Amino acid sequence: MNSIILDTTAAEQFLSAGAVDALKEKAVAARAALEAATCPGNDFLGWLHLPTSVTPDIIADIQATAKTLQEECDTVVVAGIGGSYLGARAVIEALGDSFAWLRDKRDAPTVLFAGNNIAEDYLAELTDLLRTRRFGVINISKSGTTTETALAFRLLKKQCEEQRGKDTARRVIVAVTDAKRGAARVTADKEGYKSYVIPDNVGGRFSVLTPVGLLPIAVAGYDIAALIDGAQQMERATADGTAFDDSLALRYAAVRNALYAQGKKIEIMANFQPKLHYVAEWWKQLYGESEGKQGKGIFPASVDLTTDLHSMGQWIQDGERTIFETVVSVAEPEKTLLFPHDDENLDGLNFLEGRRVDQVNKMAELGTRLAHVDGGVPNIRITLPRLDARSLGALIYFFEVGCGVSGLLLGVNPFDQPGVEAYKKNMFALLGKPGYEAEGETLRKRL
Ligand code: PA5
């Protein structure tokens, strides 16, 4: 595999001399602490060797389940939220045809997502659409008790059973959840669904390389063996004992922490390829939930470029100088399209005739990076050789290990998310869930 390239030169030029050097030893020590499981959150380190623990048998089993769903369904709905859907969606959208659902001919079922919001219109429109579909469901929840997912699954299960009959529903509903706990596990066992276990020691946002991500990605028709192969290669390239200067993940973690220490509080992930939109959404959850705690943490934001240069470009170029930018670039597009000739040349663009559209995009990227650096925005660039499963697997693991190290450098436990509970408690109290009535009364008086 041509590897991922990390270029931090245009970020380090903003840092005081020795700022990154000062973090080298700490970064190496943080990586060693992950390996030795001596860091905070050490009961959630199952992701660290996940790629190399995925055997061909595991892949074959997931592919067999995917095949059943492919044969029996034209549409598969993934019910899940946060780490229980973002990784799958990121990979599926990155590898997919931008207009897949409008094509007359499709090789694999359309994969849709639900259980990641509680919007009545969304769910009503989805259930309406599904009335004419041969659909199946992948119900993904580590806790098995998440309200958004449970609500969507309740609707989907009922509809699937009514439309397709109980027996077929049993074959086309699959659960990915805890081994023992939670409603999703109880339902799966009671109904006899095929099910997969999310290991106890793998947190939701680190779970994309388990069946949480692998099953939906395989159903959508993408090569999960290549995805895992890419992740395995990155696991080896960032292994404990790798020198700081040889480990992309250690450098990424150190540079972003050095920038943070010098007042750069917001990291904006920028892509020049709309298919990467959900990669940024996945990355935002990974870093946001891992680092945003105890009053600390870089705020992860994202833009799709060049689209957002016409909306957020002004702010990035000229707004408060508390940001830095991480561009995820793809060296070689999968398709080829040349800029056409126009006899009238009214737009004055004939000088581009015969050049690849990607060449224009790359110059837009370079021009933007230079402009932002001139505007005082440190710039990190991550280049993928191609937008394929292998590169995405490597990128996923790179960000995961970078996140673990970065959180430890920041001085937080990167593997918990205590802040996520607050809204749930209020919501249950306001809805009058048994046991929460008293809090509900108090809350209602407040706003
Ligand atoms: O990273 C996490 O643990 C969370 O973001 C979860 O993925 C998210 O809250 C969904 O939880 P669950 O899979 O338990 O439904």
**Which ligand 1 atom sits nearest the alpha carbon of residue 205?**
1
Q: Is 180 a catalytic residue?
A: no
Helix (H, G, I), strand (E, B) or coil at 185: helix
Q: Which fold has domain 50-225?
A: Rossmann fold (3.40.50)
Stated pTM of the model:
0.96
User: For every one of its 447 residues, what pLDDT tens digit does the chain have, with 9 covering 90 and above?
Assistant: 558 999 999 999 999 999 999 999 999 999 999 999 999 999 999 999 999 999 999 999 999 999 999 999 999 999 999 999 999 999 999 999 999 888 877 889 999 999 999 999 999 999 999 999 999 999 999 998 899 999 999 999 999 999 999 999 999 999 999 999 999 999 999 999 999 999 999 999 999 999 999 999 999 999 999 999 999 999 999 999 999 999 999 999 999 999 999 999 999 999 999 999 999 999 999 999 999 999 999 999 999 999 999 999 999 999 999 999 999 999 999 999 999 999 999 999 999 999 999 999 999 999 999 999 999 999 999 999 999 999 999 999 999 999 999 999 999 999 999 888 888 888 888 888 888 888 888 888 887
CB 438 within 8 A of CB 289: no
- Which residue lies with its CA nearest to atom 8 of ligand 1? 82
Residue having the nearest C-alpha atom to atom 5 of ligand 1: 82
Residue 2 has what pLDDT?
56
What separation in Å is there between the alpha carbon of 417 and the centre of ligand 1? 9
Strand, helix or coil for residue 206: helix
Q: Same CATH fold, 50-225 and 5-41+228-416?
A: yes
Q: Is 190 a catalytic residue?
A: no
Closest CA to 77 of 115, 128, 106: 115
Residue 289 appears among annotated catalytic residues: yes
Q: Which pLDDT value is given to residue 254?
A: 98
CB 327 within 8 A of CB 380: yes
Q: What is the pLDDT of residue 439?
A: 84
Q: Measure 208 CA to ligand 1 centroid, in angstroms.
A: 12
The CATH H-level superfamily of 5-41+228-416 is Glucose-6-phosphate isomerase like protein; domain 1 (3.40.50.10490)
Ligand 1 atom closest to 148 (CA): 15
Task: List strand residue ranges (DSSP E) for 295-439, in order.
Answer: 299-304, 323-332, 379-386
**Domain parsing of the chain, residue ranges:** 5-41+228-416, 50-225
How far apart are the CA of 143 and the centre of ligand 1, in A? Answer: 7
Ligand 1: list residues with CB < 6 Å: 81-84, 141-143, 146, 149, 203-205, 289, 417, 420
Q: Tell me the per-residue pLDDT of 230-288, one tens digit each, with 9 for 90 and over.
A: 999 999 999 999 999 999 999 999 999 999 999 999 999 999 999 999 999 999 999 99
131 C-alpha to ligand 1 centroid (Å): 29
